[in-house]
Amino acid sequence: MKKNLFKRPLVLGLTALVVMASIVFISCGQKAETGGTAQAAPKKKMIKWRLQTYAGPSMNDEIFGNKVKEFNKIANGEMEIELYGADQLVPQGEMFNALQKGTLDMVVSDDESMGSPADVAIFSAYFPAAGRIGLDIDVLWNRYGLNEIWKEAYDEIPGVTWLAQGSWDPCLIASNKPIRHVKDLKGLRLFTSLFNGKFLEETYGVVPVVMPVEDVQMALQTGMLDGVSWSGATELYTTGVADVCKYLLTNPISGAWSGGFFVNTKSWKALPDHLQRLLMMTIQASNYYRLNWYWWGEAKYRTSGDKMELTSIPANEWTGVDKQAEKYWDTLSKKSPRSARVIAAFKKYAAVRAKAGPPYTCGK
């Protein structure tokens, strides 16, 4: 009887335990599922920027595009920079205003041609005799205080933040007429940058012409232009200008071009710190790549390029660059206290180079 008394309650107890366990299992499963859904982080919206450079389609990848692709890959879905070339979204001369308004998030250009109102803008691009080679530009900005001066100047302008400066190629003259003496330059219609054009006009009697980059080759073919004073051999061959020019003058108008990386201030501040750092590293990587790419190309195309005949003006005639440089340096140093500081840096480094001798200066 005792066994019968305990048998049924034991069965009921086991049944109750199974039912309770099922309830607990279902309940826990529902909680886990609900909890998992609640804890899933909402997908972040990708940050998208629009970047325009001064360069045409054949050059854009070398100028910054190859490193932008790397940035987009490393950003891993958090950010994407859309790359545009010269005049694709806005005309070159309106890039600064577009950047201020937020039409563009970032630009790569010399200060002057994009319409910058900064008092230091005139010292960008092919400012005469600032450096003999591209590395001199990097030294001036990174080691002689120009980074600090540029930051100071752009901190005074609302809406735009200057991030960094870099060096580009030397400025040579490619033409359809041979240039072997200074007198051969007089009256030549050359496509140039703004200050470079003024310099050539005052020094050698050149007629400077400014037009959209994409129109240059046709203008050379039709005779509207006699040549270009815009780049070195690397760009001339890469862009196809070497295909429509017969001669390359090896005397440099300027040793290197100086350009900057600028961003819309609001867009910049909206980036998290790690993306700001990634972009700065991308810029530095681009500066290094471009520096050696240009230096490689200048030697390669002058020695093995077969599209343009090399010409040179005798050294005793080629004195205008240095004389005019001194004139501009003295004149512009009086423009403002900040301009005086820029010129002081130029002069200080020039004196160091002269004292150091080759390879910092020309000669044996």
Note if the bond before 358 is cis, omega within 30 degrees.
no
- Scanning 240-319, the segments in alpha helix (DSSP H) are 265-270, 273-304
Task: Tell me: pLDDT of 42 over 80.
Answer: no
* Res 130 pLDDT > 90: no
CA 210 – CA 219 distance, rounded (Å)? 11
Q: Is the pLDDT of residue 25 over 60?
A: no
Short-list 211, 239, 260, CA closest to 93 = 211
- Walk across the sheet containing 171-175 and list its strands: 207-209, 189-192, 227-231, 171-175, 247-254, 309-311
- What domains can be seen in the chain, in order of their start residue? 47-167+258-305 (3.40.190.170), 172-254 (3.40.190.10)
Q: Angle at the Cα of 280 (from 125 to 124), degrees rounded to 5? A: 10
Mean pLDDT of 13-42: 46
Alpha-carbon dihedral sign for residues 173, 177, 181, 186: negative
pLDDT digits (tens, 9 = 90+) for 64-96: 999 999 999 999 999 999 999 999 999 999 999
Task: Supply 306's token pair.
Answer: 């077969």
Are the beta carbons of 252 and 185 closer than 8 angstroms? no
Burial class (CB in 10 A: 0-12, 13-18, 19+), 146: buried
What would the two tokens of residue 112 be?
Answer: 């002057």
283 Cβ contact partners less than 8 Å away, ≥ 6 residues apart: 67, 163, 164, 166, 261
User: In terms of residues, how long is the chain?
Assistant: 364
Task: Read off the pLDDT of residues 237-255 as tens digits, 9 standing for 90 and up.
Answer: 999 999 999 999 999 988 9
Confidence of residue 173 (pLDDT cuts 50, 70, 90): very high
pLDDT of the residue at 39: 59
Contact 142, 347 (CB under 8 A): no
Contact criterion met (CB below 8 Å) for 109 and 233:
no
Question: What per-residue confidence (pLDDT) applies to 24?
Answer: 41
pLDDT of residue 9: 40
- Which 3-state string (H, E, C) describes 265-279? HHHHHHCCHHHHHHH
Q: Is the pLDDT of residue 263 over 50?
A: yes
DSSP 8-state symbol, 53: E
What's the pTM? 0.85
